[in-house]
Structure 1
Amino acid sequence: MENQKNGYIPLYRSVKKQPWAKDVYLRTLWENILLDAARQPFVANFKGHTWRLETGQLVTTSADLGLALCNRNGEPTSRHAVERMLTVFEKEGMISVHAERRKGTLITVLNYSEYAEKIPDLPAHNSAHNSAHNEASAGAASEVHPAHKTEHKAAHHEQEGNNNNKNLSSSRNSDESRNDATEKFLSRHPEAADGVYSPSGKLWGDADDFKAAQWLFARIALLDPSTPEPSWADWSNTVRLMRQQDNRSHHEICDLFKWANKHHFWAANILSPTSLRKQWQKLTAQRKQEGAAPTPIKSESWNTREAWQEFI
């Protein structure tokens, strides 16, 4: 009964026949898109911008979609992983995606009525309806059960109205609050890499911090291809802290990690920017003791892209 309060969408068994449906993340993302898409034309306020959504559309961000796709440890899926999954759906002809920087991503479910609208006169539906309610006649199968009436009404009014609609769900209000916090964070840190930050703004990094974090992960993945993709906001944030608080350059961060990544002992122990930062003094001392000199910085400027970009 609780589910009926927020509307519904049909989910046909044929979805299991799709090759991509075996991927639990793809299947969950697809279900979330169908559940969040507007059932009727709807005016949404997202990231301070007005969006006039048509039936089958939703406005969101890849980062927000990733927050609803967590592993068993509660860690969300990265923005980049979500974007790769959306590309799968685009290639399958299921959606179209239009992204506007710092405004949001408009997702349109193509042929929405075929995916999410119930067709009561289909034989398969009538058979299932009869079986579920133990009704004998074909005429009874076309009638709407009282519980269905409540569900149907809730579904049709779920995304109707405008910005002042008092029936907006608490989850939408929560999303709007989170978006307001994100906008405030971006106004304070415009240098933050696009999408590489936590909703609260506590974890973030700039484009170069993110690039360094990606490079570190690529080195780890060479040793163990099964290594799961990390939280880029977390990793970029640690790189930023090493740079800003510990006074390390991107070149120095990557260079020391490169040495550790090839070391017979440290390769299995330095598997994140956090462990690199924690063991920095030990790594530096041991590298010096073993006679391994740091890679020279070619650029005169200490912490610019020229000082490390060629290195990675």
Structure 2
Amino acid sequence: MENQKNGYIPLYRSVKKQPWAKDVYLRTLWENILLDAARQPFVANFKGHTWRLETGQLVTTSADLGLALCDRNGEPTSRHAVERMLTVFEKEGMISVHAERRKGTLITVLNYSEYAEKIPDLPAHNSAHKPEHNEASAGAASEVHPAHKPEHKAAHHEQEGNNNNKKTTSENSNESSDKPPKNLPVVRPGAAVQSPKGDKWGNADDLTAAEWMFKKVQIISPTAQEPTWSSWSNDIRLMRNALAVSHQEICEVFKWANADHFWQTNVMSPAKLREKWDTLKAQMNQPGRSTRTAAPAKPEVWNTREAWQEFI
């Protein structure tokens, strides 16, 4: 019953005959794509951008897809590995992929309507209806028999409530708490995300940095609750202005703290990073300080592909 409440999709046994299906990561990724694809057209907000999704489409990132593919230790799959897996599906003619840097990746499930929507033609659908049609319906040709309704509803609306593109993919434009309502004017020009009142906001780079930080937090604490993006972006914006630092430097200090055995559980948000900034900077410069990784050298321009690719 719980599965029916959340919606479901058909998954045919023939998938086991595919050569790639023995790879549990490929199989799980394919199932996740089918579960997250839009059941019907709708407008989604993702990373501060509007996406008009058609049936069978979803917008996400390789990194987000990787967060849903973890090993036994909770370690997510890298975005590079996810991109290689998506290439396998493309070669198989299962999907098409269109990526827009810093905006998201649009995935289209090819032949989605034939795969998931022609339920009345499926033998399973017909057999499910037979017991409810055994009684004669003379005199009620234009009316659905009461006994038929539960079977009919479950078969035809199997994905109802399923494809709102939850937090690892697209947000339904009517569900986002961080985006202002349509009738609210943009309070801050250049804001990629803002609170409903417009008192907390950040630009596209602030939002990107905030999302990157949260992915690092999830590695340390997989059950961490998704933050309010307008609040995190606002903290990063204020930090930049108050400390006169770049996004690159902010991320380097956070990366160092995230790799330090003490600070990784004590600095898990931009606000806490700002609070401990001076201490962290001082300890970063101490020779022999034990961390899992060393911070890379700061490039001259932070937002070039070469400088930023490690953080996205």
TM-score (norm 1): 0.53
Question: CA deviation digits over 1:143-181, x for unaligned, max 9?
Answer: 956055156447356558x9564xx5xxxx5999xx969
Cα drift, residue 276 of structure 1: 7.1
Task: Indicate the SS of the match to 2:44.
Answer: strand
The alignment of Structure 1 onto Structure 2 pairs a total of residues equal to 220
Question: CA deviation digits over 1:175-226, x for unaligned, max 9?
Answer: 99xx969x95973497x6xx965436688x969x99xxxxxxxxxxxxxxxx
Question: CA deviation digits over 1:2-60, x for unaligned, max 9?
Answer: 11122221111111111111111111111111111111111101111110000100011
- Are the equivalent residues in 2 in contact too, given 1:9–1:117 (CA < 8 A)? no
- Are the equivalent residues in 1 in contact too, given 2:248–2:298 (CA < 8 A)? no
Cα drift, residue 116 of structure 1: 1.8
- Are the equivalent residues in 2 in contact too, given 1:206–1:236 (CA < 8 A)? no
Query: Structure 2: which 5+ runs fail to align?
Result: 138-146, 165-170, 180-191, 195-200, 220-246, 265-279, 300-312
- Are the equivalent residues in 1 in contact too, given 2:47–2:207 (CA < 8 A)? no
Cα drift, residue 118 of structure 1: 4.1
Task: Indicate the SS of the match to 2:11.
Answer: coil
Query: Whose helix fraction is larger, Structure 1's or Structure 2's?
Result: 1
- Percent identity between the two aligned chains: 66
Match of 2:78 in 1: 78
* Distance change (3 Å), C-alpha of 1:7 and 1:276: closer
- Are the equivalent residues in 2 in contact too, given 1:42–1:52 (CA < 8 A)? yes
> 1:232-311 alignment to 2 at 5 Å?
238=259, 245-247=283-285, 274=291, 303=297
Match of 1:267 in 2: none
Match of 1:187 in 2: 205
Is 1:12 the counterpart of 2:12? The answer is yes
- Are the equivalent residues in 2 in contact too, given 1:6–1:154 (CA < 8 A)? no
Match of 1:214 in 2: none
Task: Indicate the SS of the match to 2:21.
Answer: helix
> Counterpart amino acid of 2:52?
R
Task: Indicate the SS of the match to 1:74.
Answer: coil
Cα drift, residue 120 of structure 1: 2.3
Is 1:199 the counterpart of 2:207? The answer is no
- Are the equivalent residues in 1 in contact too, given 2:6–2:161 (CA < 8 A)? no
Question: CA deviation digits over 1:260-305, x for unaligned, max 9?
Answer: xxxxxxxxxxxxx94577xxxxxxxxxxxxxxxxxxxxxxxx9578
Task: Indicate the SS of the match to 2:20.
Answer: helix
Cα drift, residue 101 of structure 1: 1.2
RMSD (CA atoms): 5.0
Work out the CA distance in 2 between the residues paired with 1:79 and 1:244.
32
Task: Indicate the SS of the match to 2:121.
Answer: coil
TM-score (norm 2): 0.53
Task: Indicate the SS of the match to 1:199.
Answer: helix
- Are the equivalent residues in 1 in contact too, given 2:133–2:148 (CA < 8 A)? no
* Distance change (3 Å), C-alpha of 1:163 and 1:188: closer
